[in-house]
């Protein structure tokens, strides 16, 4: 399927679900597997059909917006920051979940401390090398399981899964985690990302099946 048709099909699906009155549940499930999800042991690849190739020598991550210290990190600089590992579950809105993903990289809080966001920074807008974007309230990015991941299962993150670096936010549907991340902008007002403007939920809580806006 072409990129345009894939995007159109996903957007139409969200609109159809909305028209049917499918909305988030009032009460969150307390199960490990969120409602409506199927467990997978593989690792499906989901993106816009473009997996940009970014040589590490040319890779940069720009951190800007409402911050005291706007920063552009090179790959070498990124790798001098403290490295962490975290095991978490992964939930895609297209109904599959994967348990126990072992991610390695830099904690979001490390980046936060590096650029010193101003008090007015309340939202984060992520942009990617494939033209993707997504947005998350800053408070949700400060959980200790939120990572800028550069490794999976102890090996460098592959391009198909968003390498050189991607964002992981385990408590939200996986579209909130930008693969091939290029920029992190701290904002004082919310700005909707790629799927958020195409009918997908802005809040994206898997345990209330908060799939569509």
Ligand X SMILES: Nc1nc2c(c(=O)[nH]1)N[C@H]1C(S)=C(S)[C@@H](COP(=O)(O)O)O[C@H]1N2
The residues that touch Mo ion, with contacts defined as CB under 5 A, are 46, 92-93, 174-175
d(CA 23, CA 42): 29
Respond yes or no on whether the N-terminal peptide bond of residue 164 is cis (omega within 30° of 0).
Answer: yes
Quick one: 73 exposed, middle or buried, by C-beta within 10 A (0-12, 13-18, 19+)?
buried
Strands 181-187 and 60-65, how do they pair? Answer: parallel
User: Which of 24-32, 66-74, 104-112, 178-186 is the region at the interface with ligand X (rule: CB under 6 A)?
Assistant: 178-186
46, 54, 84, 101: residue in contact with ligand X (rule CB under 6 A): 46
115 touching ligand X, by CB under 6 A: no
The rounded distance, in Å, linking the Cα atoms of 181 and 62 is: 9
What DSSP letter does each residue of 117-139 carry, written as one string?
B-TT--EEEEEETTS-EEEEEHH
Under the binding rule (CB under 6 A), the answer on residue 177 touching ligand X is yes
Residue 181 CB, nearest approach to ligand X (Å): 7
- CB 128, CB 178: distance < 8 Å: yes
Of 63, 67, 178, 213, the one binding ligand X (CB under 6 A) is: 178
Q: Check residue 180 for interaction with ligand X (CB under 6 A).
A: yes
Selection from ligand X, Mo ion, none that 130 binds (CB < 5 to 8 A by kind) is ligand X
Is residue 100 within 8 Å of residue 85, measured between CB atoms? no
Give the nearest distance from C-beta 87 to ligand X in angstroms.
Answer: 16
Binding mask 67-106 for ligand X (x = CB under 6 A): -------------------------x--------------
Interface residues with ligand X (CB under 6 A) are: 44-48, 92, 128, 130, 132, 161-162, 174-175, 177-180
């Amino acid at each position: 399927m072409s990129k345009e048709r894939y995007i159109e099909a996903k957007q139409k699906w969200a609109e159809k679900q909305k028209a049917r009155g499918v909305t988030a549940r009032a009460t969150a499930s307390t199960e490990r597997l969120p409602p409506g999800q199927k467990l997978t042991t593989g690792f499906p690849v989901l993106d816009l059909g473009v997996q940009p190739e970014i040589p590490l020598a040319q890779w940069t991550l720009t951190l800007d917006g409402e911050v005291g210290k706007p920063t552009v990190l090179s790959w070498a600089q990124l790798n001098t920051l403290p490295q962490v590992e975290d095991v978490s579950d992964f939930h895609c809105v297209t109904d599959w979940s994967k348990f126990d993903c072992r991610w390695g990289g830099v904690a979001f809080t490390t980046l936060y401390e590096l650029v010193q966001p101003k008090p007015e920074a309340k939202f984060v807008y992520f942009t990617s090398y494939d033209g993707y974007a997504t947005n998350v309230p800053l408070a949700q990015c400060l959980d200790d399981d939120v990572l800028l991941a550069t490794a999976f299962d102890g090996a460098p993150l592959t391009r198909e899964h968003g390498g050189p670096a991607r964002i992981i936010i385990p408590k939200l549907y996986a579209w909130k985690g930008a693969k091939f991340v290029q920029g992190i902008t701290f904002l004082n007002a919310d700005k909707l990302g790629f799927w958020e403007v195409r009918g997908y939920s802005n809040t994206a809580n898997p345990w209330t099946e908060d799939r569509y806006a």
